[in-house]
A and B are shown apart, each in its own frame.
Chain A
């Protein structure tokens, strides 16, 4: 046990003295501070400018052809971001020339052409024009049918009242922080996993390993290294997420009313606990694998190709989860299967907990399998490590390692 702590201390010191590691952490915290303090800074620097509405006179022009004053009024109301002008002549040239942002050519109240130079993927004006015209058409039709004006007004403005009651979880609300957590898990596992692999391979290529294997037990070396990188990773995450949370709460009044920020930071505590559990277990299972693979590479150049299979498994799991999240069906059979497979369960089960309501036994089973696999893979990785660190020269084949493992 003594050796394990010494290795852990030495490796951890290595991370905390690593300028890149410290630099990235400080950089992320500074960026978060800038973003989250931005409204406060604007308030201090900008004075009362923030209260003024959008400056007038700089709005884009929308040309309306074939419409009357009533249509102009309706369009002006529906498109406040545009200066809507009636135009009887050619509307195509001004749009092409850039004098007008867009134009609407009405054939009748039920038929129109929307003209724009480059159609942005975010351009939903045609849809909005259609809604304006529908209203106009109905108004006209009802008036023509002799319905009194007040009645027409009542009919046109009446909307059903409704309320949404989610009996499970609100996927829309949870989507943001689930996504961020999954992405953070993805980044940290890949970054730190590769760091473990590189660390081991560096010791091997610098031949420090010759001395290490004769000085310490492989299990101590493996677990010490992986735990050190895990602590370093968690420290970085706690620094980044913790400072984000702190900065948000310091500026909470400035972010009031910003729904997206609210969605990010209003994570329930229970979910935070699950996140930490899956984070730690998920991290270790991959870090052990990366460490074992690192030990089989003789040269640093071999690392990237050697870790590829593990990285691919991980990316595949990530894709399944992200597609599951985007489609909203987080309980589809693939996701359910993935939430029990130890390599994908940290992401899949966390997503299901956050965006659905799996039964308690499902969560316990998933965490149980994950924890048991973590221990199993840790032991296996230490064995591979023990064999791998002594192999030099040509890259060992999987079969050779397995054969040697049997004997180890």
Chain B
């Protein structure tokens, strides 16, 4: 099933009076990771639950390759943000249980779970109870429930939270392997650095609809090139020379807003003539900047 295309088309969903999704549309492709972003309560979990078939949308369609999703043919794996399995049960028993619920035969489920436990370096805990494991290791066990049945679409909600750097590296490798195998990987996270690292495309959801979606590189490229980022020992003097048009970025750069992208050369010339400038370039927003702009109020 390499190269599936998942499409949300004008999805609406309300709970009682509360409208959670109001015309959500985006498109994610197999072999690529897709970042589903939004503030808390924006509608990400509701979107995921509609995709998983937990409840139907009020209107709109979830399509796979242009046809309504058929859960018998398309496998979904889910790592929920709220982690949790059965604390008192043996790890292998519950992993096999979840794999069987996803349609695997018992013997296949056991071998798949064992394979994933090996891959995630968790084999020694196979026959232990879940609650004896550390939080990070419990999370790795939970990851097996999302992957063991070899799903076509993998939904990872805050996959890196709670992992130490070594485990985070292991998870990154696993995710890259799954992407390379043609899976659609849907990422939902507030850790923008991971999204930037993995995701080719994103959708930022704000108040139940997509504020912006598309290829991340293109979004960045299309971002208005009306700001300059500069480094200088005379930042304060520059700020005084352009009153109300500057702000200091977290990395120490001074961001100068242009009145018009066309005046870029003139402003650069003025800066280099009047001040001691170490570096000046057109400002390219980080995903964080884009998120703040589109997901903010």
Contacts and interface: CB of A to CB of B under 8 A. Distances in A.
Interface stretch (A6-14, A80-88, A353-361): A6-14
B92 to A, nearest CB: 13
B15 A404 contact: yes
B85 A211 contact: yes
Indicate the member of A206, A212, A215, A400 with the most B CB atoms within 10 Å.
A215
B19 interface: no
Nearest to B52: A214
Given A211-B78, A214-B54, A390-B54, A6 B84 contact: no
A215 B79 CA distance: 12
Contacts of A213: 49, 54
B101 A3 contact: yes
B253 interface: no
Interface string A182-213: 00000000000000000000010011111111
Nearest to B14: A407
A214 B86 contact: no
Interface residues of B, number: 26
B44 interface: no
A23 to B, nearest CB: 16
Contacts of A216: 101
B16 interface: yes
A70 interface: no
A6 B85 contact: no
Interface string B33-61: 00000000000000001001111000000
B54 A6 contact: no
Contact of B84 (A207, A214, A215, A403): A207
B86 A211 contact: no
Indicate the member of A210, A213, A216, A390 with the most B CB atoms within 10 Å.
A210
B54 A207 contact: no
A207 B97 contact: no
Contacts of A6: 97, 100-101
Given A207-B84, A211-B78, A214-B49, A14 B89 contact: yes
B84 A208 contact: yes
B167 to A, nearest CB: 20
Contacts of A2: 103
Contacts of A207: 80, 82-84
A404 B15 CA distance: 8
B149 to A, nearest CB: 9
Contact of B16 (A10, A214, A215, A404): A404
Contact of A215 (B49, B86, B98): B98
A10 B97 contact: yes
B76 interface: yes
Nearest to B109: A6
Interface string A208-237: 111111111000000000000000000000
A211 B54 contact: no
Contacts of B86: 203, 206, 208
Nearest to A207: B84
A403 B101 contact: no
Nearest to A390: B54
A206 B54 contact: no
A404 B97 CA distance: 30
B145 interface: yes
Contacts of A215: 98, 101-102
A7 B101 contact: yes
Given A10-B97, A214-B54, A206 B84 contact: yes
B87 interface: yes
Contacts of A404: 15-16
Nearest to B155: A214
Interface in B69-112: 76, 78, 80, 82-87, 89, 93, 97-98, 100-103
Given A210-B82, A215-B98, A404-B16, 16 more contacts: A6-B100, A10-B97, A203-B86, A207-B84, A208-B84, A208-B85, A209-B84, A210-B80, A211-B98, A211-B145, A212-B101, A213-B54, A214-B53, A214-B78, A214-B80, A390-B49
22 contacts: A2-B103, A3-B101, A6-B97, A10-B93, A206-B84, A206-B86, A206-B87, A210-B80, A210-B82, A210-B83, A211-B78, A211-B80, A211-B85, A212-B101, A213-B54, A214-B49, A214-B52, A214-B76, A215-B98, A215-B101, A390-B49, A390-B54
